[in-house]
Amino acid sequence: EKLPKAEGGSEPLPEGLFYLMLLGDLPTQEDTDHLSSVWQRRSHVPNHVFNTIDALPLSTHPMTMFVVGVMALQTESHFSKAYSEGINKKDYWNPIYDDAMDLIARLPRIAAYVYRRKYKNNEHIQPNGLLDWAGNLAHMMGYNDESFRELMRLYMTIHADHEGGNVSAHTTHLVGSALSDPYLSYA
């Protein structure tokens, strides 16, 4: 109820919930819009990721394609590079933060790419820089009506917090504790 919404929308923007979970403060509309623009700037997915997904047989399960795409993104890891260069342990948080922000920003591109490859004759739709994070996912999937964008905003907001027992969240914590970068941890 208190989280910012898209203009004319009724569902909270996932960016606002992310802000709240990260900082513990309710975001303003300006905070949420800023985070949307940050994720938009970080959302570029290198071509080798799409080429890697395309190398898989079309019969591959979509979650396998998605995980392979995330793993292919690992080549872009700030933490992996900094760790191999001997980063001081007290500074780990900075490249891990950058990796997490990049990964969150790029996930809709990969998810939509897999969806369009698997179910829409490999006809892909480029992102729309004017849309929010979840709205852009809906757009890239090929659903441009506002009601579907609202559904995606609600769905992403509901599923944002997997704390306290979710198996995938537990696995991410466990793998991350072994000094793996966020890409390896998430995949």
More confident position, 180 or 123: 123
pLDDT tops 70 at residue 165: no
- Cβ-based neighbours of 45, under 8 Å, separated by 6 or more: 69, 73, 106, 109, 110, 113
Q: What percent of the chain has pLDDT over 70?
A: 90
Residue 41 lies in a domain: no
Write out the residue range of the structural domain in which residue 116 sits: 46-145+164-186
Spatial CA neighbour of 63 closest among 164, 159, 135, 168: 168
Residue 93 lies in a domain: yes
pLDDT-derived band at 12, boundaries 50, 70, 90: very high
Listed in sequence order, the DSSP H helices in the chain are 14-23, 29-41, 47-54, 62-73, 78-84, 93-119, 133-141, 146-158, 167-176, 182-186
pLDDT tops 60 at residue 82: yes
Mean pLDDT value of segment 83-108: 95
Looking at residue 54, which CATH number applies to its domain? 1.10.580.10
Quick one: which H or E segment has residue 163?
A: none
Mean pLDDT value of segment 136-156: 96
